[in-house]
Amino acid sequence: MNTAKFDVLTIGNAIVDIISSTEDDFLVEEKIIKGAMNLIDADRAEHLYSVMGPAIETSGGSAGNTAVGVASLGGNAAYVGKICDDHLGKIFTHDIRASGVSYDTRPLEQEPPTARSFIFVTPDGERSMNTYLGACMELGPGDVEEDKIAASAITYFEGYLWDPPRAKDAIRRAAEIAHANGRQTAITLSDPFCVDRFRGEFLQLMRSGTVDIIFSNEMEILSLYETSSFQSAIDAVRDDCALAAITRSEKGSLAVSRELTVEIEAHPIEKLVDSTGAGDLYAAGFLYGLTHDLELIDCARLGGLAAAEVIQHIGPRPQTSLNQLMIQEGY
């Protein structure tokens, strides 16, 4: 039985998403890698903002989205992420607290500014992210809130955090605190290009037991093990990690433990509008299930339910109470 104060604490890049619909030709013209997260500098950020069409500004960031999803399901969630005390930073803080997530990371008083991600959504629902990390680069061990991590059943963090150097030390410190208090840790691999950059370090985190649970999509797990065989990747991750949750878009998802593999179909949807946040919300549903003692198959089903809600509208966070959807589904 989970007796922790928080079900899930997430650590990630605190980002305000600027989302615009566009055509594939625009991506080609701007040399944007479709479906990936592309890191950009301040000049590139200014350029993309000047050429993009009408946009929606909404708080995002992978781990922030997951924390909001856990809260929407009715769980107790906390978040750690660095912002600047500027306009976008105030938007981010308001949104995540209004969503019911505990958030107390001390903001920067001056530059660099709060991170922003320019997300271009093509007619097929695919999103291509162009992220200026800004204040996120300043996240470090001093931002790790020991009391909250000790009081959280699972501490979950983004693979994207391996790009800002000091964040690695923060994550390792957080994992030490979690395990010293009998808690678990989890990582999302985030992006195939992120896996390419940090494959050895991610595998070491898993094999050393620094992380207990991994979240991945099909492309990321194939990249992690440098194979074109999905079954070979599943066999390998079973040896390397206590639990893996792997999404496969319209093909559903798998949960893989040392002893068991469960597979579910994708939750039905009316129309794919925007895939932004799909993996983040899948993780939210799965983690909520784990911290409420559900069977692995039901954790995966809850993940699929949460992901299905978020991909049917623009934006990376739920627009409908996931708790109500969960109740309607019989949980």
Which strand (E) or helix (H) includes residue 254? strand 253-257
How many beta carbons lie within 10 A of that of residue 18, not counting itself? 21
Return the sign of the alpha-carbon dihedral for residues 311, 314, 320, 323.
positive
Peptide bond preceding 112 in cis form (omega within 30 of 0)? yes
Closest CA to 256 of 213, 293, 302: 213
User: What local confidence, expressed as pLDDT, does residue 314 receive?
Assistant: 82
Residue 268: CB atoms within 10 A of its CB come to 7
Q: What is the pLDDT of residue 126?
A: 87
Among residues of the chain, what percentage have pLDDT more than 90?
Answer: 83
pLDDT of 293: 95
125 — pLDDT class (breaks 50, 70, 90): confident
Within 13 Å of residue 20, how many CA atoms lie on the same side as its CB? 17
Contact 17, 60 (CB under 8 A): yes
Domain-wise residue ranges, the chain = 6-13+62-109+135-328
State yes or no: pLDDT of 159 exceeds 80: yes
How many Cβ atoms sit within 10 Å of the Cβ of residue 168?
Answer: 18
**pLDDT in the model for residue 165:** 80
pLDDT at 241: 95
pLDDT at position 315 is: 81
What mean pLDDT comes out for the span 102-121?
Answer: 93
The span from the CA of 154 to the CA of 183, in Å, is: 6
pLDDT value at 1 more than 70: no
Q: Give the H or E element holding residue 175.
A: helix 165-180
Residue 271 neighbours by CB distance under 10 Å: 8
Rounded CA separation 39/45 (Å)? 10
pLDDT value of residue 163: 81
Structure tokens at 43: 């000049």
Cα 15–chain centre separation: 12
The CATH superfamily label for domain 6-13+62-109+135-328 reads: Ribokinase (3.40.1190.20)
**Band of residue 211 on the pLDDT scale cut at 50, 70, 90:** very high
Mean pLDDT, residues 60-80 taken together: 96
Residue 196 is encoded by which pair of tokens?
């390419």
pLDDT at 110 over 90: no
For the chain, report the end-to-end CA distance as a whole number of angstroms.
17
Q: Each residue of 20-48: pLDDT tens digit? A: 999 999 999 999 999 888 889 989 999 99
Region 52-79: what's the mean pLDDT?
Answer: 94
Closest CA to 12 of 220, 206, 204, 283: 283
What digits encode the pLDDT tens for the residues 237-288?
Answer: 999 999 999 999 999 999 999 999 999 999 999 998 888 889 999 999 999 9
Indicate whether 172 pLDDT > 90.
yes
